[in-house]
Amino acid sequence: MAGRVKYSIECWLYHPRSGRFLLLLCPATSVHGEYWQPVTGGRLPHEDPRAACVREVEEETGVVLSPESLHEVLEEFCFCIPETQVELRKPVYLAPVKATSVRVSAEHLEAAWFAPDEVPRHLGWDSYRQTFAAVRLAAQRLADAP
């Protein structure tokens, strides 16, 4: 069981025209090497998750979204980070975007758009592969909608 709970968000930027998803490259630390991830970020326990998501997307990519543009894929995804004994709780969002140009924040090394079949092998953590499976289905439903 985790020692404390951390509230976060996870947002997958999706370019429907190309069918690609944005991933951000995180730098290596003393604990792990470089790894790719979607937009993520912390939020206060009572902060509106959509507002936190919009803020994090703009901070990390320069992309400006509205809360209404977010598609909630998972209301609350939970898992424990064993090394730190932290339980992470986060909603997972899909955000369709028209532009593919992003501004990479100082906390990331690079940003790249990947085809759905390429995404899982680039992700650094199993938890991201789990959430991406749900995100991919949601994106497919959006693409199939009239």
Query: Which two structure tokens, joined as six digits, stand for 33?
Result: 């090497």
Tens-place pLDDT, residues 1-21:
557 989 999 999 999 999 999
- Mean pLDDT, the chain, whole residue set: 93
Cα separation, 134 vs 92, whole angstroms: 9
Regions in the chain scoring below 70 on pLDDT = 1-2
Q: Which domains does the chain have, with CATH numbers?
A: 4-144 (3.90.79.10)
Q: What per-residue confidence (pLDDT) applies to 2?
A: 55
| pTM, 2 dp | 0.93
Q: How many residues does the chain have?
A: 146
Check residue 46 and give its pLDDT.
85
Total Cβ atoms within 10 A of residue 82: 8
